[in-house]
Structure 1
């Protein structure tokens, strides 16, 4: 039997793993006395090693096709087609981003398909979880069990009793195991011990289970804890959000069972809603022939998917020595660079103009292929002449004013062709061979000034 040292209050019986001058329960001073207690043997499931037979690689049955499909399209996409049944994943985000909401929705979706789920929370009470479920779910399925617990040993006991197909731990930094006492919850020792125990639960050959862990996020927007935790799990998911926006982006920074994908969601009163057609969401629907100044369309690449995005700009007269430059979804340095290119290479003066840039839907811009669209959006706003809504711009713009090729151009053009676009402007000599597009007109031009003249016939 292992032994450990505790401190027990002689007045009320409160126990602590470290000595305290004042009992936090009864407020008595100097009443905590040192005692030694025996620990029961730790669960053999987390300690015992069994001899496994060695196999030839080609004889091993792949688990990729053995997935739990949730029916939440964007989540299934990010996971590579669903949750692998013997996988362990971790999801992290800032407080209030929707981690627990999304996991409750996933739990209910797979419960309807006959799978059993244990939702263990070390942060919220059963009633708090129930209140959220009542708000976001039409009907709570009977295949979901909830457990308010900070002791992972008790959760593992519940797993044996219920025999669930999925186990959700919210969050890993609030759980402890007796084998690692007196280390506190959230310490590297406890976190890794709990994670390794859950790994055994997921990878059990006789009874594989899907395990999803919630991980807390630091003030630097990184997963809290050791980097070893990210190495241990199969999938690392991050929910990106702006506190004042409805948009949520689910990013897989690691996925052993699929590619690196992004999923888009809207946070609403009824929960997190999957955005199944992002190209429609990130552009404004307008009537045919309707043009609005300050708008230009482009195509971005998110994972393996191409998404049409609308760039909006507002240019106004400045009455101060230093005009305002605001890029809500674009870095300020990048915006200033593009404005300088437009002034020098496009012959448009903005020294006395305020320039504000944003994207429809609030999606953040991370790539160079949208630069031509950003500049043309500003040009449209300066000239107060709209650009036809069936035209797209897919090119980078160098400091010389020359258009530069962007990767995955053909797949981007396929997306705008699918959405009914008629014209697209790209860099000169972007295709190594004759393109196969028949429904869309492609203009390959050399410089920014060529594009401006072509669009505005000047």
Structure 2
């Protein structure tokens, strides 16, 4: 007969201990141990033959791939991040800070799929039916009959609903609010309940006779990580993260794991009264359109890489005289340490004094900068602001700048230059010897220089 015992499991790393501890000895996290009820079965039970029927063994060459069998939502940025749509027998988890738009985006996905004649079940343990209906009335033009909503916290009842309705897509919002009867009295959100519910959803998704797509909402911790055991991320096929600042309308959808697409792919949305609006051409969104060749000081253009895509981004700077002993350095979308480093390089290697100047940097559209390829554009933006001389909007800068003032090579430079050519740019400054001999680009002049001083001289000669 099974004996019940209590153990304490660390929600960060899964470490088990028979008694509660304040600090986990494995991962050093504080206050992460949660009480869990387990069955301590006798050793003889492990010798019993499993009653679960064994699945037939197949040769790998004979297995039918589901990689191309996808549900296309029609939400371009979402489909892009997913690798071309939702694979029909996949399980996806999406997480974000509260209010970032998880439920809004998934309701839009449910509506798009329902319009294609497929059934969707939206199971929520956090919101009532009326709350979901109010959101749908606000963001959807028309609510399709193929969407079913169930306000429930019992995963056993959700499984019954799936059997009755037979949906093509099941949405669980959020998994930390659901429980399974077999795992009681462990509370909702505990490692035991979360993993048991996730494993049941995995079984539903991977059913060979009736595959279904499952999307799970996962709560996020204070440290901006998916709540629960790391095993939850290993279990699912795709992990999506919505990146957003509370005061910004821009939303980034990042794929941190994707078995059916590119890990690290990024999609962009704009939060509006009608929900999440897909930004299908980010290169137009993240730069200012100016009529008649208008030139503005303090503005430069560069190209960043987000996933597999090159995106043109505008860097803006404002330089003003300071009346305090310590000038202000503000980088709204750029780390302060990085900004101070680039200012020091410009002062020492570019012979431009900024000791009595305030410097403020931001990007158009609120794009957060993570890579070194924008460093030359940031410096040239500051130079333009100091000189009060604008740089032609058909010119771009792509290079890292070393402490020596030398221009450094950056990854994927060829695809960045091609994006500039596609958008009609006429000239780009890059590090010397960046391309193989004989490389040519159509419609754009590539100026390869060695140092920052050479760039400044070439632009303002």
TM-score, normalisation: structure 1: 0.89
Is 1:159 matched up with 2:162?
yes
Instruction: After TM superposition, give the deviation of residue 438 of structure 1 in Å.
Output: 2.8
Shift of 1:48: 7.0
Match of residue 348 from structure 2: 344
Deviates more, 1:139-148 or 1:438-447: 438-447
Q: Which residue of 2 aligns with 1:367?
A: 371
* 1:394 equivalent in structure 2: 398
> CA separation in 2, counterparts of 1:389 and 1:74?
27
Is the CA contact (8 Å cut-off) linking 2:342 and 2:375 kept in structure 1? yes
Give TM-score scaled by structure 2 length: 0.89
Paired positions, count: 416
For residues 298-336 of structure 1, the C-alpha deviation after alignment (integer angstroms, 9 at most, x for no partner) is: 000000000000000000000001000000000000000
CA distance in 1, matches of 2:413, 2:372: 13
Q: 1:271 aligns with which of 269, 272, 275?
A: 275
Partner Cα separation in structure 2 for residue 49 and residue 293 of structure 1: 71
Map of 1:168 onto structure 2? 171
Answering whether residue 140 of structure 2 is matched by residue 137 of structure 1, we say: yes
Q: Please tell me whether residue 240 in structure 1 is matched to residue 237 in structure 2.
A: no
Distance 1:287 1:442 in 2: 25
Aligned position for 1:357: 361
CA distance in 2, matches of 1:217, 1:182: 24
Contact 2:431 2:448 in 1 (8 A): yes
Unaligned runs of 5+ in 1: 5-46
Report deviation, 1:2: 9.5
Q: Select 1:227's aligned residue among 222, 227, 230.
A: 230
SS at match of 2:107: helix
Which of 431, 440, 452 is the matching residue for 1:436? 440
Q: For residue 291 of structure 2, give the secondary structure of its aligned residue in structure 1.
A: coil
Question: 1:72 maps to what in 2?
Answer: 75
Q: Tell me, what secondary structure is at the counterpart of 2:320?
A: strand
**Do the aligned partners of residues 301 and 48 (structure 1) sit closer, same or farther apart at CA in structure 2, a change above 3 Å counting?**
farther
- CA shift for structure 1 position 49: 3.1
The residue aligned with 2:336 is: 332
Tell whether 2:91 aligns with 1:88: yes
Aligned equivalents of 2:90 and 2:349: distance in 1? 53
* In structure 1, distance between residues paired with 2:426 and 2:393: 9
1: CA distance, partners of 2:52 / 2:79: 34
Alignment of 1:172-187 (within 5 A): 172-187=175-190
State the alpha-carbon separation in 2 of the partners of residues 2 and 367 from structure 1.
56
Moved over 6 A (4+): 1-4
1:420 aligns with 2:424: yes
Tell me the secondary structure at the aligned position of residue 347 of structure 2: helix
Aligned partners of 2:324, 2:387: CA distance in 1, in Å?
22
Q: 2:18 — aligned with what?
A: none
2:338 and 2:3 map into 1 onto residues whose CA distance is 60
| TM-aligned CA deviation for residue 124 of structure 1 | 0.4
Distance in 2, Cα, partners of 1:50 & 1:281: 55
1:356 aligned counterpart, secondary structure: strand
Alignment of 1:96-115 (within 5 A): 96-115=99-118
- Superposed counterparts of 1:255-294, under 5 Å: 255-260=258-263, 261-294=265-298
| Post-superposition CA distance 1:351-405 (Å, at most 9, x none) | 0000000000001000000000000000000001000000000000000000011
Q: CA RMSD in A?
A: 1.4
3-state SS of 2:416 partner: helix
SS of residue paired to 2:293: coil
Q: Does 1:252 align with 2:255?
A: yes
